[in-house]
Structure 1
Amino acid sequence: MKRSFDLIFSLNIMSTSQIPHQNSNHKASSEFSERPRKKLGKYFYLLVGIGGAGLVLLFARPILTSSSNSPTAETTARILPVDTIAVEPVDSYQVSRIYTGEIAALRTSNLGFSRSGEIEQVLVEEGDRVTAGQPLAKLDIRNLETQRQQLIAEKARAQAQLAELQRGARQEDIDAAIAGVRDLEQQLKLQEQQRQRREFLYEQGAISKEELDEFSFGEGALQARLNQAKSNLAELENGTRWEQVAAQQATVQQLEASIADLDVTIDKSTLKAPFDGIVATRELDEGTVANAGQSVIRLIENAAPEARVGMPNQVINELEIGSTQTLKLGSQTYKATVASILPEVNANTRTQVVVFNLDRSAIPQINPGQTVRLELTEEINTEGYWLPTDALNQGIRGLWTCYVLSESEDTENYQVKQHSVEIIHQQGDRVLVRGTLQPGDKIVANGTHRLVPGQQVKPLEVMSNK
């Protein structure tokens, strides 16, 4: 290197010594100025080339000297430190599946009267808990009670007439009819004797034809009256006809039906709770004239709310009626009991509806139609190994690869071999795989993008794969 610098220095002196002095004549100066320019250009390129070669030798000398002094430096630089994981086989894994449903509509009724009228009493306040059949409000029923009393009186009169028809005529009426018949018979007999005498007198010429006719027609009138009296007597003796009894019975039944209908109207004048519930709203007060069907009280059912969740048939087969599950509504969780499994299968989703009964304490926090979620854990039997996702590289044909440590000639270091694996299930930042791995194999846990098959590595730490 020193020789290179000496050569450059001597060439510079030579080129400088050939430059003429300024006091030479013009012709010589002209010739000289033309030649040195060409020579200087050649010398310039020569100097640059020599200087570059010198620099290369200057920087290459330490490297060559170092390489010659440390023959294993390159091998040492290629050994990479890696984190490893010791794999252990498993024979199953758990999968959490979430099924979505909704809260079934709780019974909510806007209760009102079936007829119009003035509200006499409201018996409950908002927030009161009531039971089925408990009176909630009443209408004024004074006019209905008056109508009922009138119908009761008419029914009593009709029943008396029916009893009279069923018992028949009294003996006194029959005796009176018999006496009437006998009286007419005697009058008719007297009339016949008088007619016979008038006929004799007419034959003798003592009376006229007109007088004879008067007695003849009088006898016929008495005979008609006698026949009528005998018919009345026979009717009294035979009793009342069944048709009359039946007609009177129908009259009594009609009055009874009218009273029953009025009783229903009176009963509906009292508003009653159709089911156990909580009074949500009291919309009308005493003294208000309510129309038929107008809402007076809004009642919400106070019963265990239901949740309905659609689930596949294979999952339903593992549920038992009466078993307890955990349902999630928003950020809250509630205990629920499997109440029933509906038999119909949804044609679109191929699921069946499972009905869950929630605890009553959930009533204030839930609303009909609210989304509910059920999370179930399923155990799947299959063999494999858990690996971190960072330990995998994408291979070909849908497979993945990982690096397994194998012993090398250097007992402190290892070589890596590439193994193909198939992903069975992914869970967070780890995957379950199967392939050519063996129990206890040490797998490179991360940084696999830096490795190539056969590369030497040094394990830093054995990580856990749980």
Structure 2
Amino acid sequence: MALLLLALLLLAGCGPVSQEVATPTPTRVTALPLQSSDHYPELRRYTGRVVAPQEGAVGFELAGRIASLHKERGDTFAAGELLATLDTRLLEVEARELAARLGQNRAELTLARQTLTRLTTLRQRQFSSDQEIDEWQGKTRMLEASASQIAAAQEANQVRIEKSRLLAPFSGTVVSREQPLGAVVNAGQPLFALIRTGHWEADIGIPAELAATLSPGQTYPLQAADRTFTARLVNLGIRVDGHTHTRSARFALGEDAAMLAEGQLISLLHQTPSAIDAYVVPLTALTQGIRGGWTLYVATRTPEPTIVSRDVRLLQQDGERAWIEGALQGDERIVMDGLHKLVPGQRVTVQEATP
């Protein structure tokens, strides 16, 4: 009896075990009906360079030997600050010579006037002749004219000494120094290349037809060094360049562009509507595809919606929306976000979003 009971227990243990398999819950996604468009904003770039508000080469108005240099490349300076001087030793000798000549002239003129006074007194007593008086009157006038000539020569000498000092015409920075200390330079020969301190400007060549749509005083977006700046259009050139067929547009940059450098490339960003059939989707609905392409996830309209991926081409984006083209149908629903949780073929439940 005991053996029979044990056998029945063993047979019961070997029987089949029923298990329940849990079915995974479909992922919930938010989908938006696909919107079509007959155009998209095409972004065009017109490239120019960053320029200083004022720049130029300066040099002495006189020829001479450079006696001192007070600034080097990269140094800053204020308007009126001394940049360099010429050797003025010969001018200083000339100044002393003119001073001596003037002193001699004054002594001779004093003597001539005293003599003329005495002769005039003696003439009243009939002790001098009219000829003597005429001679000393002529000599006095000659000495007075000579005194005026020497005074003019002194003034010219002082002007040359002053022009031997090269002063900064404006506040700015030294771009380069063209001559070494001790060099003999000609009048007007460039010694320093300078740029004026202040906010940078941008000089950009743009097509004549686009220039006609821009308004001086208005602000436009510029881009340099992967940063976007707002710049005010100062003026438009009145001449079309014969080589590039563009007009020069000059923009004033603000303080936020202080880190830029002269000569750096900078571009005007201009959007124009391009007539082409496209679709408008939220930028969050796109994910990076293979080979640098873009992928859009679509939720099917079957009883059990699943995820389907579509390769698309990105035409333009403005930071929130994207304009795309690809093998799409107008009645499809695109998944707006959470794309990192999805894979093609995955079952989902769809929550409709309003456009």
TM-score of the pair, normalised by structure 1: 0.44
- Quote the Cα distance in structure 1 between the aligned partners of 2:332 and 2:248: 46
Once the two structures are TM-superposed, the CA of residue 235 in structure 1 deviates from its matched residue by 4.1
SS of the counterpart of 1:442?
coil
User: Deviation at 1:130?
Assistant: 0.6
Whether contact under 8 Å (1:113, 1:292) holds in the other structure is no
Q: What corresponds to 1:107 in structure 2?
A: 55
Q: Which protein has the larger Cα radius of gyration, Structure 1 or Structure 2?
A: 1
Please identify which structure carries the higher helix content: 1
Aligned CA distance change for structure 1 residues 430 and 234 (closer, same or farther; 3 Å): closer
| Match among 325, 331, 347 for residue 442 of structure 1 | 331
Aligned partner of 1:232 in structure 2 is 131
What is aligned with 1:323?
218
* Alignment correspondent of 1:289: 182
1:386/1:139 Cα in 2 relative to 1: closer, same or farther (>3 Å)?
A: closer
Say which SS state the counterpart of residue 154 (structure 1) adopts.
Answer: helix
How many angstroms apart in 2 are the aligned matches of 1:366 and 1:353? 20
Aligned counterpart for 2:265 among listed residues 368, 371, 374: 371
Confirm whether residue 305 of structure 1 aligns to residue 175 of structure 2.
no
In the TM superposition, 1:108-257 aligns within 5 A as: 109=57, 114-117=62-65, 119=67, 122-124=69-71, 127-139=74-86, 141-155=88-102, 157-158=104-105, 169-170=116-117, 172-177=118-123, 179=125, 230-232=129-131, 235=134, 240=137, 245=141, 250-257=145-152
Q: Is the 8 A contact 2:51 2:203 kept in 1?
A: yes
More strand by proportion, 1 or 2?
2
Structure 1 vs Structure 2 CA RMSD? 5.1
Q: Which residue of 2 aligns with 1:352?
A: 247
Identity %: 23
Unaligned runs of 5+ in 1: 1-84, 182-228, 389-410, 413-425, 433-439, 446-459
- One-letter amino acid matched to 1:174: T
Counterpart AA for 2:159 = V
User: Measured at CA, do residues 97 and 281 of structure 1 come closer, stay the same or move farther in structure 2, by a change above 3 Å?
Assistant: closer
Relative to structure 1, is the Cα distance of residues 240 and 108 closer, same or farther in structure 2, using a 3 angstrom cutoff? Answer: closer
Give the conservation status (yes or no) of the 8 Å contact 2:231–2:252: yes
Deviation of the 1:431 alpha carbon: 4.5
Corresponding residue for residue 29 of structure 2: none
Q: What are the superposed Cα offsets for residues 23-44 of structure 1, whole Å, 9 maximum, x if unpaired?
A: xxxxxxxxxxxxxxxxxxxxxx
Distance 2:202 2:66 in 1: 41
Per-residue CA deviations over 1:185-233 (Å, capped at 9, x if unaligned) read: xxxxxxxxxxxxxxxxxxxxxxxxxxxxxxxxxxxxxxxxxxxx65427
Gaps of 5+ in 2: 1-31, 282-301, 304-314, 317-321, 335-348
Instruction: Give the match's secondary structure for 2:122.
Output: helix
Higher mean Cα deviation, 317-326 or 359-368?
359-368
Question: 1:118 and 1:86 mapped to 2: Cα distance?
Answer: 78
Q: Which residue of 2 aligns with 1:97?
A: 44
Distance in structure 1 (CA, Å) of the matches to 2:270 and 2:62: 49
Deviation at 1:155, TM superposition (A): 3.5
SS in 1 for 2:185: coil
Secondary structure, aligned partner of 1:132: coil
C-alpha distance in structure 2 between counterparts of 1:349 and 1:360, whole Å = 31
1:135 Cα deviation after fit? 1.0
Structure 1 residue 112: deviation in Å?
A: 6.5
Question: In 2 relative to 1, CA 156–333 (structure 1 residues): closer, same or farther, beyond 3 Å?
Answer: farther
Matched residues, number: 271
Task: Report the 3-state secondary structure (helix = DSSP H, G, I; strand = E; otherwise coil) of the residue aligned with 2:199.
Answer: coil
Q: Provide closer, same or farther for how the CA distance between residues 99 and 284 of structure 1 changes in structure 2, counting only shifts above 3 A.
A: closer
1:263 to 154, 158, 162: 158
Cα offset for 1:147?
Answer: 2.1
Q: Distance in 2 between matches of 1:363 and 1:98?
A: 22
1:342 aligns with 2:241: no
CA–CA distance in 2 between the matches of 1:387 and 1:141?
Answer: 75
Query: Whole-Å Cα distance in 2 between the matches of residues 96 and 118 of structure 1?
Result: 54
Shift of 1:340: 1.5
Deviation at 1:92, TM superposition (A): 6.4
Task: Summarize the Cα distance change of 1:162–1:316 in structure 2 as closer, same or farther, 3 Å threshold.
Answer: farther
Change (3 A) 1:162 1:95: farther
Deviations 1:58-110 (A, max 9, x none): xxxxxxxxxxxxxxxxxxxxxxxxxxx95656586423222222334762547
CA 296–441 in structure 1, closer or farther in 2 if over 3 Å, else same: closer
